[in-house]
């Protein structure tokens, strides 16, 4: 992951992961930069014995930036309504990529681009 470059991402929509305790997120426009770095990042860590949830694997990944998690249905609805009226496309630079462990959140790796 030595030669990876900082790249732009535009978050242009709102999404929901409908788990028992749901997640509301911002969704980036998927492009070759985002798709490519995810694939290379996954390959870089493939020998590290990390236990990935299936939907983080290449070809199944839903890129997202979590806004709120562990929400019940009423909280999901309120979050989406609030975000809908305040939403503007967010243009961001990706300067780091990393792996975190879920519950409790723990950083496993972070790589500066």
Q: Tell me the per-residue pLDDT of 7-17, one tens digit each, with 9 for 90 and over.
A: 999 999 999 98
Supply the DSSP symbol for 87: -
Q: For residue 23, is it within any domain?
A: yes
Over 80: is that where the pLDDT of 38 sits? yes
Mean pLDDT of 39-51: 75
- Average pLDDT (22-40) is 90
The pLDDT value recorded for residue 13 is 95
Tell me which of 55 and 84 has the higher pLDDT.
84
Q: Total structural domains in the chain? A: 1
Q: Quick one: tokens of 78?
A: 């309120």
Binned at pLDDT 50, 70 and 90, residue 53 comes out as: low
pLDDT per position as a tens digit, 70-109: 999 999 999 999 999 989 999 999 998 887 777 788 888 8
pLDDT of residue 90: 95
* Residue 1 belongs to a domain: no
Tokens found for residue 110: 């972070």
Angle at 33 between CA 23 and CA 89, to 5 degrees: 50
Domain hosting residue 39, numbered range: 7-112
Share in percent of the chain as helix, strand, coil (round to 5): 25, 40, 35
Whether pLDDT at 51 is above 90: no
Burial of 24 (0-12, 13-18, 19+ CB in 10 A): buried
The answer to whether residue 2 is domain-embedded is no
Mean of all residue pLDDT scores within the chain = 86
| Angle at CA of residue 95, ends 91 and 23, nearest 5° | 60
In a domain, 46, yes or no: yes
Torsion sign over Cα 36, 38, 40, 41: positive
Q: Identify the pLDDT of residue 50.
A: 64
């Amino acid at each position: 992951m030595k030669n990876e470059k900082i790249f732009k991402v535009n978050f242009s929509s709102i999404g929901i992961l409908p788990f028992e305790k749901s997640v509301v997120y911002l969704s980036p426009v998927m492009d070759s930069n985002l798709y490519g770095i995810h694939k290379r990042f996954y390959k870089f860590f493939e020998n590290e014995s990390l236990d990935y949830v299936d939907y983080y694997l290449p070809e199944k990944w839903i890129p997202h930036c979590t806004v709120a998690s562990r929400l019940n249905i009423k909280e999901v609805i309120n979050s989406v309504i609030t975000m809908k009226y305040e939403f503007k496309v967010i243009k961001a630079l990706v300067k780091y990529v990393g792996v975190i462990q879920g519950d409790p959140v723990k950083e496993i790796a972070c790589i500066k681009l």
